[in-house]
Chain A
Amino acid sequence: MGLAKGLSVTLRHMLNKSVTQQYPDVRPDLPARSRGVIALVEENCTVCMLCARECPDWCIYIDSHKETLPAPEGGRPRARNVLDRFAIDFSLCMYCGICIEVCPFDALFWSPEFEYADGDIRNLLHEKDRLAAWVQTVPPPPAHEPNAEPPKELAAASRPARPRTTAGPARTVPGGAGTAGTPSAPSEAPASPTPPEATTSTGPSTSPESSTSSGPSTSSEPRRPERRTSTRRADVRAIRPPGALPKNDIPPAGDEPVESPGGRPEDSTPVGSEPAGSPPPGPGSGPAGSGSAGSSLPGAGPAGSGSAGSPPVGSEHGDQPPSPTESSRPERPRRRTSTRFSDVRAIRPPGALPKKDTPPAENLSTEQGGVPPDEGPAEQTSATDQAEESEEEK
């Protein structure tokens, strides 16, 4: 009987379909999150070295140098890290993914690409150009389930706004935009700038609710994760510095199109009335409001956003020689208005970024709101340039 059983087993196997995968002829159907190779988004890397330090194998090599950006007028010079080399030795890498988990700036991603075997182990040390090439193969992140809790990025983004006591109005603004729906935001956005005024007085109580709706996050969601982070962070960072940074803020303004001097008057005229009327309430709204307004509002954005943004800063720093600072602040919001995301990046490297900021801003803006932002910045820049020149002449 045992003999017959053995024969039946082999016969059954022969009649069953083989599950062999004909790999070179048929590519394997890998899950989207397969750990094939690590891709690097070089623009997002700030050389914070977290990945290299956390790597259990020490297989990430980073070289960088600091560039000191010339001091803008009235500011202090700023240092900025420039990435010279980013290499991962895949002969050492054990694909734990810690570097990707730890990267706070979304510069590293898993790619399912796996066909990079090499005959020489030394050729497995891949430099940043190769790592960047793999970015093309990174799949889009899976959508969140409809009723799931919002991702913690969103929660984190909504949180920082609360600390601002005055943030209420600001949120109301984004909330309004968010409720309206980000894509449609541009049309509604123009309406939002006015609400901040009204909300400034009434806002605070209502604002938290609106914030829970996570206006900014919703607006950012449709886009890629990177941008979301950037936008949120932008808000976050913008929020922190204000207390200590009246000086710092100024330089970036100078670094950038320096629209501030020229821009203010323009902005101030439309916006100025607002800040003057409601300087105290405005404070919190600055970043968020500016962002929402900026993205949404093409032409009108700068003014509206400026109005929203300028007051907050001023209010926070208000005691200080604020009035000038306030006037200068509106500049910041403007940048955001032109490009939310660019704001983030613009804030960090202020020294070097007039060039970079503008292009990313355009791209991002185009992605977000569409054409309008481009027009806005262009106008601003032109105006600001003129203003700068005029100031310089003065």
Chain B
Amino acid sequence: MAVVLDVAVRLAVIVAAFLVLPLIAGQAEHKVMAHMQARLGPMRAGGFHGWAQLIADGVKFAQKEEIVPAAADRRVFALAPAVALIPYLVVLVVVPVGPGLVGVDLDAGLFFVLAVMGIGVLGSIMAGWASGNKYSVLGGIRSAAQLVSYELPLVLAASSVAMAAGTLSLPGIVEAWRWWWLPWQAIGAVVFFTAGLAELRRPPFDMPIAESEIIMGPMTEYTGMRFALFMLAEYAGIIVLSALTTVLFLGGWHGPFLPGPVWTLLKVAVLVFVVIWVRVSYPRLREDQLQRLAWVGLVPLALVQLALTGIVRVLAG
């Protein structure tokens, strides 16, 4: 009984975090991006600096008509948002926030995370194919190409950390983490974070949804709650990516003075800010530049990191 209760509480907390953190990230993006562009952002909803803007948006989305194009593959079309969103919820289950504060401590946690995150992109591809729209198909194909290109450096960088820690368990990696891993795994961290951004199709890697050429890419035909789920998936992806980067490369709950979970959340928040910051600062990469960055830039760097990790690991014994 106690075990069941424990699991229920953990799942409830995870679901709550999954619903709240993306909203906070979205609001932060609204305000931070606005101020970086010398604007104020939402100021009216909720009364104080538009804190309820995303709630108002949610209400608006819920009221909108859900349109399914006549040429759409209805079943796939309806399933795609869920496929895009749920993997991030599942990933959160294995992400440790503090010592012992984990949904499930899997032995192959890192492997599980990388596998599940790849499914999230599948939702985008499904949406692009099922919409019966040429822009959606183009966006879906770009998503697929991006997934193929960036999954490789992502996995290589993550495997570098696993090599260093000698375990695939996320809590195990955090416990094995030492401060000098920061410079040691710096290249891997940059590669992992960048490749993760590309997997999320966040600007400046948002070629699949480049609104100036293919409307909204795979989401062109989506309206109402389904579109809202796609947007929620994007922000949930930001949270998951930031959390994974924190756990793998930034030492998770390690930190002076403050309790562990606070350190984890703090690092996640900083990374979310960096995600927004990068989005505001850089223009969108062209499709060929996108592929070039992955194959000519990130993959070799990840391999270098892998070699460096192996050498140090062998020399240090």
Contact = CB atoms under 8 A, between A and B. Distances in A.
Interface string A378-393: 0000000000000000
Interface of A: 3, 6-7, 9-11, 13-14, 16, 18-20, 22
A22 B49 CA distance: 12
B39 interface: yes
A7 B39 contact: no
Interface of B: 32, 34-40, 43, 277-278, 280-282
Contacts of A19: 38
Contacts of A20: 38-40
B20 to A, nearest CB: 24
A13 B36 contact: yes
Contacts of A11: 36, 277
A6 B40 CA distance: 20
Contacts of A3: 281-282
Contacts of A22: 40, 43
A10 B280 CA distance: 7
A14 B32 contact: yes
A7 B273 CA distance: 12
14 contacts: A7-B277, A7-B278, A9-B281, A11-B36, A11-B277, A13-B35, A13-B36, A13-B37, A14-B32, A14-B36, A18-B34, A18-B35, A18-B40, A19-B38
Given A13-B35, A14-B35, A19-B38, A6 B43 contact: no
Nearest to A16: B38
Q: Of A6, A10, A13, which is in contact with the most chain B CB atoms at under 10 Å from its CB?
A: A10
Q: Of B39, B43, B281, which is in contact with the most chain A CB atoms at under 10 Å from its CB?
A: B281
A10 B281 contact: yes
Contacts of B38: 13, 16, 18-20
Nearest to A21: B40
A18 B40 CA distance: 7
A6 B283 CA distance: 10
Nearest to A7: B281
A14 B274 CA distance: 13
* Those 8 A-B pairs whose CB atoms lie nearest each other, nearest first: A6-B281, A10-B36, A14-B35, A14-B36, A20-B40, A10-B281, A10-B280, A7-B281
Contacts of B34: 18
Given A18-B39, A20-B39, 13 more contacts: A3-B281, A7-B277, A7-B281, A10-B36, A10-B277, A10-B281, A11-B36, A14-B32, A16-B38, A18-B35, A19-B38, A20-B38, A22-B40
A19 B278 CA distance: 23
Contacts of B32: 14
B201 to A, nearest CB: 20
Contacts of B36: 10-11, 13-14
